[in-house]
Amino acid sequence: MPRPNVAKRRKTDARSGKSGRKRPPPNRERTHRQLLQTAIRLFARHGFHGVSVEEIAMAAHLSKRLPYYYFGSKEGLFRAALTAVYERIERMEFQAVDSAVTPSGKLAALLEGYFVFLRENPEFTQLLMWGNLEKGRHFPVESMTKAPLLRRFHEIVAEGIAKGEFRNDLDAPHLLINVIGLVFIYFSNRHSLSQVLNLDLSSIAVHNRALAQVKSVLLDGIRLTGEMSAPVISVCWR
């Protein structure tokens, strides 16, 4: 039979919620991930000014103080959201170019990767568009960069020129913009282009046709085909 003082202590512990064992510390990594995933979803839907830190915490079923604890401020949370989606696309970019052997194959794989990524990660396009509407003032300068990919891109273009696959007048940064732009517009302007062109740009079949044409336009345009004339640079504005 338990002694009276032990039984009394157990009753007191039961009323106070104590079990005699230490509670496990909160899972910081899980909480951080939960807040970040919720922030990505809500910022993508509403933009920086369209949702509050408290609403993000509430949607994540967490205390409204936790976003400030983990990210410091609303801007810190928004920058973390942008960084997270940018890291996703960076992983895809390097996996794509590493999956092919020839320079032309690497660019084709990158185009394919962009189509698949943007279709499966709509929040990337939405967050980037909101950030651009804010004129980039919330972009994380340190982590949001294409410098690593651009260095690799320079190598791919140089290899393509050396092997006789590509023209020798290509500008690598502009070519990378061409690659991104030819795909990105199918997602950034999906609703307007679907309406004005009577095309369902959410259709995978339409994406497959688009990818085939984008590959042809880009790769045929940079392919070395005999004697190349100097590029004509016209002045569009003064």
C-beta atoms surrounding 44 within 10 Å: 21
Helix/strand/coil for 166: strand
Report d(CA 133, CA 51) in Å as an integer: 16
**CATH homologous superfamily of 83-222:** Tetracycline Repressor, domain 2 (1.10.357.10)
Give the tens place of pLDDT for each residue, 23-64: 434 688 999 999 999 999 999 999 999 999 999 999 999 999
Residue 210: name the closest of 226, 232, 189, 227 by CA. Answer: 189
Alpha-carbon span 198 to 193, nearest angstrom: 8
| pLDDT tens, the chain, 238 aa long | 455 554 444 444 444 444 444 443 468 899 999 999 999 999 999 999 999 999 999 999 999 999 999 999 999 999 999 999 999 999 999 999 999 999 999 999 999 999 999 999 999 999 999 999 989 888 888 888 899 999 999 999 999 999 999 999 999 999 999 999 999 999 999 999 999 999 999 999 999 999 999 999 999 999 987 544 444 444 444 4
Give the SS3 label for residue 223: strand
Q: Can you give the pLDDT at residue 20?
A: 44
Query: Is 179 within 8 Å of 171 (Cβ atoms)?
Result: no
Can you point out the beta strands (E) in 76-224? none
Which pair of structure tokens corresponds to residue 164?
């006789």
pTM summary value: 0.81
Of 33, 119, 42, 116, the residue nearest 78 (C-alpha): 42
Asked if residues 108 and 179 have their Cβ atoms less than 8 Å apart, the reply is: no
In the chain, what are the domain boundaries? 83-222
